[in-house]
Each structure stands twice: as C-alpha cells, then as structure tokens.
Amino acid sequence: MPSQASVAEPKPGSDQGVVARRLWAKAYIRRLVVTDTLIVSIAVLAAQWVRFGTFDVQVRSEALSFFSYGVVAVVLVASWLSALVIFRTRSPRIVGNGDEEYRRIISSTFGLFGFIAIVTLLAGIDLARLYLAIALPMGLSGLLLGRWLWRRRAARWRRRGLLQTSVLVVGGEQSVRDLIESFSRGTADGYRVVGACVPGPDGLRGGSIRAAGVEVPVLGNDSNVLEALKRIGADAVVITATEKVGHRGIRNLLWELEDSEVDLVIAPGIVDVSGPRLEMRPVAGLPLIHVEKPQYHGAKSFAKSAFDVVFSSLVLLVASPLMAGVAIAIRATSRGPVFYRSVRIGLDGRPFMMLKFRTMVDGAEQGVSALMDRNEGSGLLFKLREDPRVTTVGRILRKYSIDELPQLINVLRREMSVVGPRPPLRREVAAYDGTVRRRLLVKPGMTGLWQVSGRSDLSWEESVRLDLSYVENWSMVGDLLIVVKTLRAVVAGAGAY
C-alpha cells in the first residue's frame, strides 16, 4: 500500500482529488495481481511437492503422450489467474467493498476446478485427485485471506479520512440525508457526501443539509451540476431524483462527464437488496433493473440445511469438552439448572424451546419488571450493561458467546440455523408490524448480521434493518462469510453483555 504522504487527502475543490483516487485504485489493483499470482503459484507448487515429493513426475494420459506435472502446474496457475480475470474479481467497482469480491473469487475457483474435472475425464487424463484436492483449498483460502488483509488495510486508511470517494448528490433533501446516513454506517467503504444539488425551486445556493453529524452544502439545482463539480472536486455524481432530472437530463449529464474522470451513478432507491438479486436488462432501448424474488426454498434451502447439520455436528464434537467444563462451573458457582430454556418464535411463527447455558441467577425472569426503568435497550429489546442478575461465570460466558453453544442442539433439531435473524421472544413477535414480520420467513440463527455488526450495542431499528437485509439476500457464500466474521467478533468480545 502507498505511504501516507503519497495518498494524503487533497483539499476539496481541487482536481487532485479525482486523480489521487484513480491512482490509488490502480496501485491497489496492481498489488492484488501480485498477491494473487504469488498465492496461486505457491498453492500449486506446494500441492505438487506434498503429493509427489518432487517436481519431476509424469502424467498418464490416454489421448496424449506422457507430459510432466511441471506443465500441469504452469497451465493450472495460468488458468486460475485467468479465471480470476474472467470473473472480474479485481473490478474497481467491487474491490474493498461488500461481499461480492469474495463471492467472485469462490465462484471462479470452483468453476475452474469443475471445468478441469470434466476435461480430464473426457480426455482420459489421469490427473492425481489428491494434487487438486490440496491445491484447491490451499489456493482458495490464500486468495480469500489475501483479499481480507488488503481490505483491512484499506479500511484503516478510509476510517482516517483518506482514500475517500467524494460524492455530489442530485436529489431531494430526504434522499441526501438517507445517503449521508448510509455512507456514515459504512465508513470502511470510503464514500462521503460533500455536496448536493436539489432539483426544483428548493435547490437554492447557500443552504445546507445536515445528517449523521455531517453538514452538506446545497450548491444549486440539477442545472448546476457541472458548476458544483468544479467547486468541490467530487469523484462521483449520484442521481437519486431520476423522475425530476428525467432521462434526457441524465443522458446529457452523462455526455458532459465523458471527458472527465467523474463517475455517474444512478441510485434507484432499492433498499437492502444485494447485487445478485439485481439484473440490468435493456428493454426497447431502456436499461431496466429487474429485482429477482428472494429464494427461501429449493436447492439453496437444501444446501443451507446440509451445512447446518454438518457444521453443528462438528462444532458439538470439538466443543464437547469445553461444554462439559462450563456445565460443571455453572453448577459449582450458583444454584439452578445448567441450561436456560426460553420459548422463541421460529420459522413461520412456530414456537420452540431455545437452549442456552444459564448465565443469570435462577428465576431471573421474575426480576425483569423491577429493572425496566434501567433498560438500556431500544425498541422491544431489554438490555442492561451491568445487569445484577448475571453471575460471575455468566459474564465470561456472555462476553465470548459461549453461553450460546447449546443452540447447536436446536440447529440439529432443525428449529434454528447456524446463520439467520436473531431468535425473537413471543412478546416481541406480538408487537411486530407487517415489515418486521418478514424476519420469520427464515429460521432464526445462532449468529447473523446483527452478531457481526455490533451485537448488543445495536439499536432496535438497526437490528431489524440487518435482519431484514439478511432475509432478503441470504446465500450460502454470505452465510460462510458471516460465520468467519462471527469468530472474529466473539474473540474480540465487543458489544456483548
């Protein structure tokens, strides 16, 4: 990564802002190319050495003459790197932001190895299966780890205000506020609103719009976009008021920006819908965004259920000594049962008995009413950072989420999933409106977006937003990424009480 001196944030209003961001993006992608090449090469060579103990081995083939595994290694490395390019895993639009980068890496890798399996079968090439079985997980893990490390470094710079993408918003006052608040939640994504053009008579110069502690100047209406860009030196123009600007206005603006380095982005106003569900299809010369319906059944559901069974069984097997020790510690330090049983509402509103290790004194539920005036939670949640009902052992179990391990039994019973919305209480569900009730379309989970985004520190509104976002966009790759992020959150012990 470049040094701080070489990427210092230019002052707003200068043309250096766009140039610096472009140069940094190109440098970042070059580093990804080098990192990917090293990781793939090491994985393939390591697989050959582990499998054969030498690099001078011949491949048996019915259709071709004997050839060396050295040739196979070169072809495999070249094909793997080509697959990463074909799947656009280093596209400037996705690197460093969101989960799409990881999804493309996984898809390209499995797609390549599936293609290799078919070709070797049809060509009668006797390629050692263990060789591929070592190269695939080693290379895939290395690629994902490499991208994660680069993203972490980029995120640190962005949180310090560097490597930012400055945005000029063309839209109504509320749309500007919504974008400011959204970008403030994703500081590691590197977007910030620096100016606004409000269409219509409201777009008068001299005013400002304030949200999330940020004050953004209003620089005119939709006819002043180019003038506003010259004043603030923004990297991108985001149009939210498409109905007011009109398709001719958008087309003219696109033409006017062709000779500049400024991006034009259309914000369709679709909230919490991820990229895989969006597809652009030209119809009668118009680019239309088609939003696919969320999938809760079929092959994806079967894959999720299979993952739940395998994952929970393995974790229960590995964690059984720890769980036995926790049970002994609970019985030895406080009166009452080892497990806490609570009725929760699951898939389609069906109740079930959720299991956890007991972390409070026996009969703690009867003391909730006396503590309501000290409630630190928001909405329907009751949370108390210094809850007097929590035992000494319970505080440790809660901090590292060890108390939730018995929920693996609920997963095996198919009452819960490894990843999903937070399991709600009956009184919470009774107060749900039509929107929040969509959380019940999938099984509740041991972990989820709420777990990796702040845990107990989240507001009720933010917890609901994350749960609904998961329900609308869940996928197996997304679940795997949430599991990995959960391990980091649990080790850090932040936001749990």
pLDDT, one tens digit per residue, over 204-241 is 666 888 887 888 888 888 888 888 888 888 888 988 87
pTM for the whole thing? 0.64
Rounded to whole angstroms, the Cα distance separating 337 from 372 reads 25
Domain that holds residue 169: 165-269
Nearest Cα neighbor of 357 from 297, 407, 426, 290 is: 407
Residue 383 lies in a domain: yes
pLDDT > 70? residue 9: no
Number of H helices, E strands in the chain: 15, 15
pLDDT in tens, 157-189: 777 767 778 889 988 888 888 888 888 776 556
Task: Tell me the two tokens of residue 187.
Answer: 């500081």
Q: How many domains does one find in the chain? A: 3
If asked whether residues 121 and 193 sit together in one domain, one would say no
Give the β-pairing of 165-170 and 208-211.
unpaired
Q: How confident is the model at residue 105 (pLDDT cuts 50, 70, 90)?
A: very high
Rounded to whole angstroms, the Cα distance separating 218 from 173 reads 9
Residue at which a domain ends, from 159, 178, 203 = 159
Rounded to whole angstroms, the Cα distance separating 468 from 459 reads 14
Rg of the chain taking only CA atoms, in angstroms: 27
Identity at 277, one-letter amino acid code: R
Residue 292 lies in a domain: no
Contact 62, 127 (CB under 8 A): no
Residue 114 lies in a domain: yes
Q: Is 350 exposed, middle or buried (0-12, 13-18, 19+ CB in 10 A)?
A: exposed
User: What's the 3-state SS for 366-399?
Assistant: HHHHHHHHHCCCCCCCCCCCCCCCECHHHHHHHH
If asked whether residues 150 and 228 sit together in one domain, one would say no
pLDDT in tens, 191-203: 888 899 888 765 5
Task: Tell me the two tokens of residue 284.
Answer: 């009668």
Residue 277 lies in a domain: no
Looking at residue 378, its pLDDT comes to 53
Residue 288 lies in a domain: no
If asked whether residues 346 and 373 sit together in one domain, one would say yes
Percent of the chain residues past pLDDT 90, beyond the cut:
26
Rounded to whole angstroms, the Cα distance separating 308 from 127 reads 33
| N residues, the chain | 497
Q: How confident is the model at residue 446 (pLDDT cuts 50, 70, 90)?
A: very high
Residue 290 lies in a domain: no
Residue at which a domain ends, from 159, 183, 206 = 159
If asked whether residues 169 and 155 sit together in one domain, one would say no
Q: Which secondary-structure segment (H or E) carries 58? A: strand 58-61
If asked whether residues 152 and 244 sit together in one domain, one would say no
Q: How confident is the model at residue 345 (pLDDT cuts 50, 70, 90)?
A: very high
If asked whether residues 150 and 187 sit together in one domain, one would say no
Rounded to whole angstroms, the Cα distance separating 269 from 127 reads 50
If asked whether residues 329 and 245 sit together in one domain, one would say no
Looking at residue 230, its pLDDT comes to 85
Residue 318 lies in a domain: yes
Residue 274 lies in a domain: no
Looking at residue 12, its pLDDT comes to 39
Task: Give phi and psi for 61, each to the nearest 5.
Answer: -140, 140
If asked whether residues 149 and 264 sit together in one domain, one would say no
If asked whether residues 51 and 186 sit together in one domain, one would say no
Residue at which a domain ends, from 159, 183, 204 = 159
